[in-house]
Structures are given as C-alpha cells and as structure tokens.
Amino acid sequence: MLRSIRDCGAMCTCLVVLAACSPRNVSFSADVQPIIKKYCLECHAPGGAGYAASGFDMSTYETFMKGGKFGTFVEPGDPLGSNLILLVEGKADPSIRMPHGRKKLGDREIEVLSTWVLEGAKNN
C-alpha cells in the first residue's frame, strides 16, 4: 500500500513538473511570429513557392488566420484539429511535412505553436 502511494506521489510530481515546463500565455508577436519568420515566410508569403501552391500567406496575423486554397490552417482551441500542427509535426503525410524540404521544427517550437493554438490563437 505504501509503495503504491509513493508511486502515485512520484507520478503526480512528474506531471506538475512537466506542466510547469510547458509554455503559458503564448504571444503571437513575441513567440509565434519569430518561428514563422525563421521557418515559413521564405515560402508562405506572396511570391513564394508555398504561397503559389497553397495560397497560404503567413506574413500577417490576419492572412495567417484566413488560411489558403485548402481552408484554414488554425482551429483556435484545437491543436489536434489544426492543419498547422499536423503539418509541422509531419502527421498529415511525411511528404508534406513543413517546412517542406528543410529541417524540422524543434520540439519546443512545435510546443509553442500548439500551446498558442490551444490558448485560442490570439493576436497578442
């Protein structure tokens, strides 16, 4: 009995530590936009190959949220239902993982994007 209580306590401690390490109150301008500039704007702005293929312009919050030829890429509050997250994680189809043909985003960067979407994808 004592061991199961100890194991449960250790598990709860781990969950609290993990939750504390997750980003909170993610800001579009301070946290999300730098990731977009680093990995996405080369292609997903007017004149870029990604924009030509998808119609998806990531250069402003408004155009980012509007989406492209294939619909919206962000479902505020629903990272699992957001194409943005599916594409950067490579879960849709590995051949269309974003950024296309470049190094994958780091886990922390994906976590920032996911948290921003979960928090409502606000223009803050």
Q: HSE, CB side, 13 Å, CA atoms: give it for residue 55.
A: 7
> 11: pLDDT confidence band, cut at 50, 70 and 90?
very low
Please list the residues that pair with 71 across neighbouring strands.
68
Residue 66, domain member (yes or no):
yes
Q: 86 near 103, Cβ under 8 Å?
A: no
Could you read off the pLDDT of 84-101 as tens digits, one per residue? 999 999 998 888 999 999
Task: Tell me, yes or no, whether 13 lies in a domain.
Answer: no
pLDDT at 22: 60
Quote the number of domains for the chain: 1
**Model pLDDT, residue 16:** 40
